[in-house]
Amino acid sequence: MPTRPAAADAITVVAGQILFDFSRQRIAQGSWQDAIDSLTQLDFPGQRRALFTGGRVNTTEGRAATHTQARDHALAITARQIETLSRHAAALVADGVDTVLHLGIGGSDLGVRLVHEAFVAVGLEPRCRLRFACGLDRAEWREALDGLDPRHCAIIVASKSFRTVETLELLARARRWLQSAGIDPERRLHAVTARGDLAASLGIARSHIALLDESIGGRHAIWSALNLGLRAAWGDAPVAALLEGAHAMDQHFVRAPLARNAPVLAAIARFINRNRRQLTDHVIAPYSWGLRSLPRYLQQLLMESLGKRVTHDGEPVSANPCSSVWGDQGTAAQHAFFQWLHQHPTGAAVDFIAVRPEEHDTAGATLFANAVAQAQALAQGFRPEHHGDVGDAHRSAPGGRPSTFIALPELSPPILGALLSFYEASVFAEACLAGVNPFDQFGVEFGKTLALDTVRAVVAGETTNLDAQALALVRWARAQEEPKDD
């Protein structure tokens, strides 16, 4: 039966006040060192330096990736941008607004939603409500508007390109909603975008447009103008603390030796688990209600960044660059898919994220204990005490399932910032190991373009660029007939 790794192979690191325990990663010390040596040979230190100094790390689009600078208050340009955002947020809620409705999808939604949920769980005091809508389904739109008074609602439309189909449809719905209540949309509509010209052309006042830097991708935009809604709802202080925590983790990522660098070690573990042990699934299990959206947030961060088929040079990748990332919150996950984690022939690697319980917090202690117990059970496996029964095989689990335990001292804005920055940095290191560009997403862009053709087909009957299978589905959708059973 597999046993816990020897103490010599155990690696724990504290960074940004967070404890990262890699001791259940079944990776020998020599393998850790080999991967670190590979990073050095790939000039990871130089690539990391380029990331933090404005180098063109986004090689396919020929631009920098400046999200780390957006959370560095010491930079004059960052301080000015934060001052501008602060004034915008204060003005947004000054005119009798009790609710901000944030419209956006993907990177324009996931980070804001995650941080908002965490702030609610922490028990911070908001100055107004924050609601979300991201998709086209009218049921979601009705739910987002439920109980809202358009006379006291401000609406933020978030889209870097301001061409996202879902978000533009939501903008149109919001405009009609305001107009139906006799409210001038220009008073209540705001935008967060890199294309201020397009937002203005759609009737949003220039003074209501918060500009995104073109060099900050959607999945990293929570650190920049995208946090406008958070500032409006929660004020500047918790958002500043979020950014400070992220910056603290940045400093660890830049300064810590690679062998004691939490994001680097996480990247190595995922890369080795996937390419040497064929564990292509990576599960995120946060044992905190405030982090329930973390799996979806990380799903985009990792899979959109690393889901690439070619290297920087356009050559086919020689190693699997990306895991399939999924998960769910806490003990609910145990009652959903942990059976698969324990007894499936392959299983997956897991990140357990748990918050240190406060004194006399029995529920918090139970959550933390469950996370620790599951990590141990996955590592050690289990088998019945009495052997020989025909059902022993059904009651046994092999163990040997790797996991990283991420222990948060508390759930607070700076700790959350450090956690998200940790994952961003680990993605950058993993991209270096795989030789891919983590800052583009051309697969997503192609899907959006094809969807526009398909929408025209379903709505208007145009059939350009559709294959036979797609055309058959479009004809079925347009027939408006009751389907007949075979």
Tell me the C-alpha distance between 476 and 471, whole Å.
9
Tell me the C-alpha distance between 80 and 85, whole Å.
9
* Catalytic residue from among 73, 83, 315, 448: 448
In 3D, which of 73, 297, 49, 167 has the Cα closest to residue 175? 167
Cα distances (angstroms) measured from residue 109 to each of 78, 138, 185, 307, 485: 22, 17, 22, 20, 40
DSSP assignment of 55-78 equals: ---BTTTTB---TTGGG-TTSHHH
* Catalytic residue from among 143, 214, 312, 335: 335
Give the residues across from 63 on adjacent strands. 58
Tell me the C-alpha distance between 112 and 102, whole Å.
9
- The backbone torsions φ and ψ at residue 478, rounded to the nearest 5 degrees and listed phi first, read -85, -15
Can 462 be counted among the known catalytic residues? no
Residue burial 328-360, b: 16+ Cβ < 10 Å; e: rest: bbbbebbeebbeebbeeeebbbbbbbbbebeee
In the chain the first and final C-alpha atoms are separated, in Å, by: 52
DSSP 8-class letter at 465? T
Tell me the C-alpha distance between 67 and 44, whole Å.
18
* Catalytic residue from among 117, 166, 304, 430: 304
DSSP assignment of 364-417 equals: HHHHHHHHHHHHHHHHH-B--SS---TTHHHH-B-----EEEEEES---HHHHH
Q: Which helix (H) or strand (E) holds 113?
A: helix 110-122
Cα distances (angstroms) measured from residue 293 to each of 112, 113, 241: 10, 8, 20
Can 308 be counted among the known catalytic residues? no
Q: In sequence order, what are the residues at sequence separation of 6 or more whose Cβ sits closer than 8 angstroms to the Cβ of residue 254? A: 48, 52
Tell me the C-alpha distance between 100 and 148, whole Å.
10
DSSP assignment of 325-338 equals: EEE--HHHHHTTTH
Are the CB atoms for 288 and 329 separated by under 8 Å?
A: yes
DSSP 8-class letter at 182? T
Give the residues across from 185 on adjacent strands. none
Tell me the C-alpha distance between 192 and 218, whole Å.
11
Tell me the C-alpha distance between 199 and 430, whole Å.
36
The residues annotated as belonging to the active site are 304, 335, 448
